[in-house]
Amino acid sequence: MSSGNPFQLVSTREIESLHIKLETYEHIKTGAMHYHLATENKENVFLVALKTVPTDSTGVAHILEHTVLCGSERFPVRDPFFMMIRRSLNSFMNAFTSSDWTAYPFASQNRKDFDNLLEVYLDAVFFANLHPLDFAQEGYRIEVKEPKDPQNSDLVYKGVVFNEMKGAMSSPVSKLWHTMSSHLYRTTTYHYNSGGEPKNIPDLSYGELTDFYKKHYHPSNAYFMTFGDIPAEEHQEKFERFVLSRFERSEHDIHVGTENRFEAPVQVEDFYPSSDPNDQTSVIVGWLLGASTDLQELLAAQFVSNLLLDNSSSPLRKYLETSKLAETPSPLCGLEDSNQEMAFLCGLEGIKPESAEQFENEILQLFERLAKDGVPLEQQEAVLHQLEVSQREIGGDSYPYGLQLILSSLAAATHGVNPADILDIDPVLAELREKIQDPEYIKGLIRHFFIENSHRVRLTMKPSDELVDQEKAEEKARLADIKKDMSVEEIQTLIDVADQLKERQEQEDDSSILPKVEISDIHSDIPRHDPEISQEKALYSYLCGSNGIAYQQAVFDLPMLSDEELGWLPLYTSMVTEVGFGDYDYEQAQLKQSQVVGSLSSYSSLMVDDADPNSVKGYIHFSGKALNTKASEFVALLKDVINSVRFDETERVWELLLQMKHRKHQSVTGSGHSYAMLAASAAWSPLSAINHKLGGLTGIHRLMDEVKDISCLAAILPLLKSIHQKVIGSPVRLLAMGDSQGLETLKDSLDKAWVNEAFSHEITPSKLSVPSVDKQQLWMTNTQVNFVSRAFKTCMHTDPDAAPLTILSSVLRNGYLHRAIREQGGAYGGGANQDSASGVFRFYSYRDPRTTETLDDFTKSVEWFLSKSHGFEPIEEAILGVIGSIDKPASPAGEARQDFHNRLMGRSYEDRHEFRDRILAVTEDQLKAVAEKYLLNAECSEVIITNDEIAESLSLKDWTHYQL
């Protein structure tokens, strides 16, 4: 390292289990920290985080995260973040607001692209323009509802974050968490909702936003984190040149504060707004634990949390799942260790409010018993085994692997702990293995964390339909009071600002000032994975760098199922590995699994039969992973589960069914756009229609309607048994993935375990019954914002039109929908996509304050595209985005798994390469041709997910109405 480097090296540590070297640096002048995870991985990751500590619930940190990305000193365009998404081959771009930090990460495999994004991100974060109109767009603003008659018109709140948080806080789980935090944390920043409470967001002024930025967005409060094969010194040269050389050390002391500990536990009752009769009371008990900056305290808390809740044989999980006080465990169970002071929560849903005290007492009695009797050593060892598997596995199938590592250690870094201490857990595992040999160790931890800890809150949260009306009335009254005191000139100012914002949103920025990659920067090939294939046993073996983890799957053809059986297929796949097998009851089975494997699961996958577009085929997966040292046991265990699974534990099946019902119902407010797109697609695609019936809104509606009490199992249990017998009687193929050691053991064990089965390389299509679906559907649930979708029948992936339709969806999103739906309409998101697996083109919006107006924007986007020539630039940007998605790397095992699935779906390497070549060759003429052919004046289906009040106001009498 050159002597002129403005950073000084603080420490280095090799983390052998992760194949990385973590280098810690400090910027001499400003104190900015740089943590570099040096590795040979070519997917380089960058993240810069700032400690952000709100002192209210106005959402200042969250709104700032949005507005920071709306233009900067060197790149004074209105929307550089979304513009760079279109000018990049990134494998990840985003920004996050946590409870006490804000982070800006990206990842790319292309070096030119990485450098481009780095320049834009650094300038955005440290030299943001923070235009007042961007604050109005992204945060909140007040508009006159009817500008043509301002004196008689109501005022309304608008804004992206305002609507995003209305959607987020529609979730009972989110409301429960933020309410618990406000009582468990009384004197630190965690008392507040950093995302913003909708009722508090309008209290934030533009001046307060800019003051928060000046204080918090300074290098002295910055944590730079990088991963990949670019040397740290190269990163640091750019940090210094573009940012750090312009700053001196800041004197601001930014800290989250320290909690004043309770002298006695407290009990709180509160309400959440809900007009949904399916929403129920929840009771949560939470403890404030020690500092996450104390490494020993942190790892002990993680160990205890896993020991208590890891699986259904774990003592606390077992109690929560079997308690007669309620229907199901709360999703808010476990350790929150990202805050400076940790919290542990456990709770029940569907409980009577008067049972809250009994629940708390029973939890305390459970801990008293554990502190007296301890926990069996085999359960403690099983938890350590799970930790070892999670430590060794190379991820990257959802987030980039490097980003996963960075995020897992980011909280520690912002709290002053070296990330190496969090990432390098092998020494800790070894230490824990020694400590658990002492029976008093776990007993002491239980006493320390729970029995002797008086900082405890019991929160009872009840649904209230009155609160729904009350919150609406309060917002309306607040706006009325504001207007009452406004002069004619002030009202006109609101109208003028709205006009100025619209003009700004519609302006054409000079995108040439932003760096970009071009099609010529795209590599011409895609990775090829060729497995070793055993024709006799249909065994597909992939050698990959799995870091000591062995993966296997047994994949059965989806058998012919009756309508009743098909309807309960999601229940079957979700619980087949969660019940007992052979001589093991479900508790023994769960413990056995945790001792042998890192995970065991099952799922179904459906696809259109290429030979018959109206026929659907599919398969059932049994899937898992284990350490190489347990590969033989892994094979035997999975075979035993498949051969001898039990559906005779009625209480267990009922518990799992209730959990599934609650989770599915709660998922609508978070994933409404996905459900709306699936429902709209169902009118045109047999595949979508069946998926809509199984896991979509129709499936959720069926669960809510049919799962009332345990008597329903009299009909369901025989169906589960019948499904399983049909599945294991179907042809099977096997998948094995791992490094050289694990793969050889897997292959040998599979060869011995699977002997008399019917193996197959081809999937025989099942003629599944395709339900009919209405073309206009209005779904009503407990949500403050809406989800809107429209779908058109198009073509499958093998059709030459699939490529231009895919590019068209990006052009419509980038050129029209983003501005109309998000910026002007105020939705959190919106766009379009071509689903070539189903042969459907879908428009959508997410957390949208509008409904039919958004449908109009879908129409206008097509008219806009066909009305003029757009040139090649927007097409090139769309191509870059699609190619970036196609080429996005996965984990070594994930890439092998994708290749296997493509083979199952009949998509050869040559087919995928041809589709990619078609994407690269798309022209504007092709886009206009497919837009006219499939979208212009074509028959469509439409879906809106909303609440009862909005649904009534829409008067869509020709639509089919459903209540969730």
Give yes or no: residues 297 and 217 share one domain: no
For residues 454 and 315, membership in a common domain is answered with yes
Task: State the pairing for strand pair 266-273/456-464.
Answer: parallel
Residues in CB range of 223: below 8 A, 6 or more apart: 32, 33, 35, 48, 49, 50, 51, 410, 413, 414
Which pLDDT value is given to residue 1?
A: 43
Task: Give 259's DSSP letter.
Answer: P
Handedness of CA 90, 92, 97, 100 (dihedral sign): negative
Cβ proximity of 301 and 442 under 8 Å: no
Give the mean model confidence (pLDDT) for residues 233-262.
95
Q: What is the per-residue pLDDT for 508?
A: 87
Pairing of strands 539-543, 732-738: parallel
Looking at the structure, do residues 449 and 580 belong to the same domain, yes or no? no
- Joined together, the tokens standing for residue 603 give 């799922």
Contact 342, 449 (CB under 8 A): no
Same domain, 296 and 347: yes
* Amino acid of residue 558: L
Q: Has residue 823 been placed in a domain? A: yes
Question: How does DSSP assign 101-113, residue by residue?
Answer: EEEEEEEES-HHH
Cα 325 from Cα 203, distance rounded (Å): 41
Q: CA 107, CA 89: separation in Å to the nearest integer?
A: 9
In this structure, is residue 958 part of a structural domain?
yes
Structure tokens at 145: 């509802």
φ/ψ (deg, to 5) at 897: -65, -40
Q: What one-character DSSP code corresponds to residue 351? A: -
Contact 623, 541 (CB under 8 A): no
| pLDDT reported for residue 957 | 85
All residues at 6 or more sequence positions from 9 whose CB lies less than 8 Å from its CB, including other chains? 1, 23, 24, 25
What rounded mean pLDDT belongs to the chain? 94
Residue 525 domain-assigned? no
Q: In this structure, are 107 and 27 located in the same domain?
A: yes
Answer whether residue 666 is part of any domain: no
* Residue 707: inside a domain: yes
Range of the domain at 145: 7-253
Cβ contacts of residue 891 below 8 Å, gap of 6+? 393, 394, 395, 396, 397, 401
H or E element that contains 285: strand 282-291
The token pair that represents 497 in the structure block: 């600002």
Q: Is residue 61 scored above 80 in pLDDT?
A: yes
End-to-end distance of the chain based on CA atoms, in angstroms?
62
Q: Is the dihedral of CA 786, 792, 798, 799 positive or negative?
A: negative
> Do 920 and 880 touch, CB atoms closer than 8 A?
no
Q: Which of 212, 229, 253 is the last residue of a domain?
A: 253
Residues 409/410/412/417 CA torsion (nearest 10 deg): 90
If you average pLDDT over residues 201-213, what whole number do you get?
97
CA atoms within 13 A on the CB side of 593: 29
- By 3-state DSSP, what share of the chain in percent is helix, strand and coil, each rounded to 5? 50, 20, 30
- Tell me which of 463, 480, 505 is where a domain ends: 463
pLDDT tens, 932-946? 999 999 999 999 999
Whether 700 and 553 map to the same domain: the answer is yes
The residue out of 417, 444, 463 marking a domain boundary is 463
Is 223 within 8 Å of 35 (Cβ atoms)? yes
Handedness of CA 376, 380, 385, 386 (dihedral sign): positive
pLDDT digit string, tens, across residues 810-841: 999 999 999 999 999 999 999 999 999 999 99
Number of domains in the chain: 4
437: Cβ contacts below 8 Å, ≥ 6 apart: 377
Instruction: Give the pair of three-digit tokens for residue 160.
Output: 């992206």
User: Which residues have C-beta within 8 Å of that of residue 39, sequence separation ≥ 6?
Assistant: 19, 20, 21, 227, 228, 229, 402
Band (pLDDT 50/70/90 cuts) for residue 765 is low
Instruction: Return the closest-CA partner of residue 155 out of 470, 468, 482.
Output: 482
| Choice between 242 and 608, residue whose per-residue pLDDT is larger | 242
Q: What per-residue string of b and e applies to 188-220 under the rule 16 or more CB within 10 Å gives b?
A: bbbbbbbbbbbebbbebeeeebbebbeebbbbb
* Exposure string for 164-173, b = 16+ CB within 10 A, e = fewer: bbbbbbbbbb
| Residue 505 belongs to some domain of the structure | no
pLDDT of residue 2: 46
In this predicted structure, the answer to whether residue 610 has a pLDDT above a threshold of 80 is no
Q: Tell me the pLDDT tens digit for each residue of 514-536.
A: 999 999 999 878 888 999 999 88
- DSSP assigned state of 42: S
Do 297 and 361 fall into the same domain? yes
CA 853, 858, 861, 866: dihedral to nearest 10 degrees?
Answer: -130
The reply to whether 500 falls in a domain is no
pLDDT in tens, 303-339: 999 999 999 999 999 999 999 999 999 999 999 999 9
In this model, does residue 3 exceed pLDDT 70? Answer: no
Q: What CA–CA distance (Å, rounded) separates 739 from 742?
A: 5
CA distance 117 to 107: 9
pLDDT of 337: 94
Please, which residues bridge with residue 842 across strands? Answer: 791, 833
Per-residue pLDDT averaged across 903-930, rounded?
93
Angle between helices 631-644 and 586-596 (to 10 degrees): 150
| Beta bridge pairs of residue 733 | 555
292-308 mean pLDDT: 93
Cα dihedral 51, 56, 57, 59 sign: negative
Q: The CATH number of the domain where 850 resides is what?
A: 3.30.830.10
280 and 234 within one domain: no
- HSE-CB of 378 using CA atoms within 13 angstroms: 9
Angle at 142 between CA 138 and CA 147, to 5 degrees: 120
Alpha helices in 557-685, H assignment, sequence order: 563-567, 569-575, 586-596, 631-644, 650-666, 668-681
- Provide the H-helix boundaries in 127-253: 132-138, 160-168, 172-184, 206-216, 232-242
pLDDT tops 90 at residue 929 = yes
DSSP string, 45-102: EEEEEEE---SSSS-HHHHHHHHHTS-BSS---S-HHHHHHTT---SEE--EE-SSEE
Q: What is the pLDDT of residues 480-524, one digit of tens each?
A: 999 999 999 999 999 999 999 999 999 888 889 999 999 999 987
Give the whole-angstrom CA distance, residue 204 versus residue 557: 57
What are the Cα distances from residue 789, in Å, to 679, 801, 828? 9, 22, 14
Encode pLDDT of 382-440 as tens digits: 999 999 998 888 888 888 999 999 999 999 999 999 999 999 988 888 999 999 999 99
Q: Are residues 628 and 712 in the same domain?
A: yes
Q: Give the span between the Cα atoms of 283 and 179, in whole angstroms.
A: 12
In a shared domain, residues 85 and 142: yes
Which residues, 6+ apart, have CB-to-CB distance to 456 below 8 Å?
Answer: 262, 265, 266, 285, 286, 287, 288
User: Which of 86-90, 180-184, 273-277, 799-803 bottoms out in mean pLDDT, i.e. has the lowest?
Assistant: 273-277
Provide the β-strand partners of residue 602: 622
Query: What is the Cα Rg of the chain in Å?
Result: 28
Question: What are 737's strand-pairing partners?
Answer: 542, 551
**612 pLDDT higher than 80:** no
Q: Which of 429, 548, 427, 402 is nearest to 13 (CA)?
A: 427
Residue 831: CB partners within 8 Å, gap ≥ 6? 809, 812, 813, 817, 818, 821, 843, 844
68 and 170 part of one domain? yes
Q: What are phi and psi of 157, to 5 degrees?
A: -90, 140
Residue 495 pLDDT: 95
Contact present, 631 and 749 (Cβ < 8 Å): yes
Is pLDDT of 35 > 70?
Answer: yes
Is residue 595 within 8 A of residue 382, CB to CB? The reply is yes
Helix (H, G, I), strand (E, B) or coil at 672: helix
946: closest CA among 956, 936, 935, 958? Answer: 956
658 found inside a domain = no
Residues 207 and 279 grouped into a single domain: no
